[in-house]
Amino acid sequence: MEASAARRRRALPAVEPLSAAPSIAFRPLTRGDFARLRDWLNEPHVAAWWGAGTGPDGLGGAGDDAATLDAVEAAYGPAVDGADPTFNYVVVVDGAPVGMIQWYRLASYPSYAAAIGEGDGAGVDVLIGDPTMVGRGLGPAAIDRFVTEVVFAAPDVPRCVTGPDVENARSVRAFERAGFRWVRDAVVPEEPGREHVMVRDRVA
């Protein structure tokens, strides 16, 4: 575990904060994004938390673990076609695609919802795929805007929930800065590490 944590920390690039507030927008993921998404999933800083070995749905890495276009199609094609309950979006900063963010109703995944102790609301996950944009303060701003403008636009969603790995300090900090609070750590079947369950309630 300690070696794994050290490897993951080394994979995170150190860069300067953004010098000015960027323009952040979201658009639905399309098949035209799949080649770029494949490349993002194979970036070391993404694969450490999203890749093969991180859970039953893990995709990406190096060598034999590397994501392929076919694998991305199998994983994300159904959602693009509207046949999967997860809604995937591309994070666009100053006109350039830099990552992916997604949300889903927890009721669509009852086994996962039970494992993390959250029976209601929406799950949210984010990856910043462009390594030049990691660690520059983009994550909290993107998460906050996405939750406010996209997820809470659905009137039946009372709260947002996320569950980064307990060792993923950068993700935990990003969600804290976006208004999420910790409620519990949870063991999710088939995942190697515990999830640091965090929530943000809709403001009336």
Token pair 């929406």: residue: 122
Average pLDDT, the chain: 91
Distance (Å, whole) CA 42 – CA 47 = 6
Q: 148-194 pLDDT, tens per residue?
A: 999 999 999 999 999 999 999 999 999 999 999 999 999 999 999 99
Q: 83-115 pLDDT, tens per residue?
A: 999 999 999 999 999 999 999 999 999 999 999
pLDDT at 147 over 60: yes
pLDDT at 69 over 70: yes
Map out the domains of the chain with their CATH numbers: 2-10+23-201 (3.40.630.30)
What share of the chain in percent tops pLDDT 70?
A: 90
Non-local CB neighbours of 113 within 8 Å, separated by 6+ positions: 106, 107, 119
pLDDT at 15 over 70: no
Distance (Å, whole) CA 133 – CA 200 = 24
Mean pLDDT computed over 133-145: 93
Distance (Å, whole) CA 30 – CA 13 = 28
Non-local CB neighbours of 51 within 8 Å, separated by 6+ positions: 41, 42, 58, 59, 60, 61, 65, 67
pLDDT at 7 over 50: no
pLDDT at 4 over 60: no
pLDDT at 118 over 90: yes
pLDDT of amino acid 22: 78
DSSP state of 117: T
pLDDT at 17 over 80: no
Task: Report pTM.
Answer: 0.90
* Helix, coil or strand: residue 138: helix
pLDDT of amino acid 119: 86
pLDDT at 145 over 50: yes
pLDDT of amino acid 93: 95
pLDDT at 199 over 90: yes
For helices 138-149 and 169-177, angle between their N-to-C axes, nearest 10 degrees: 50
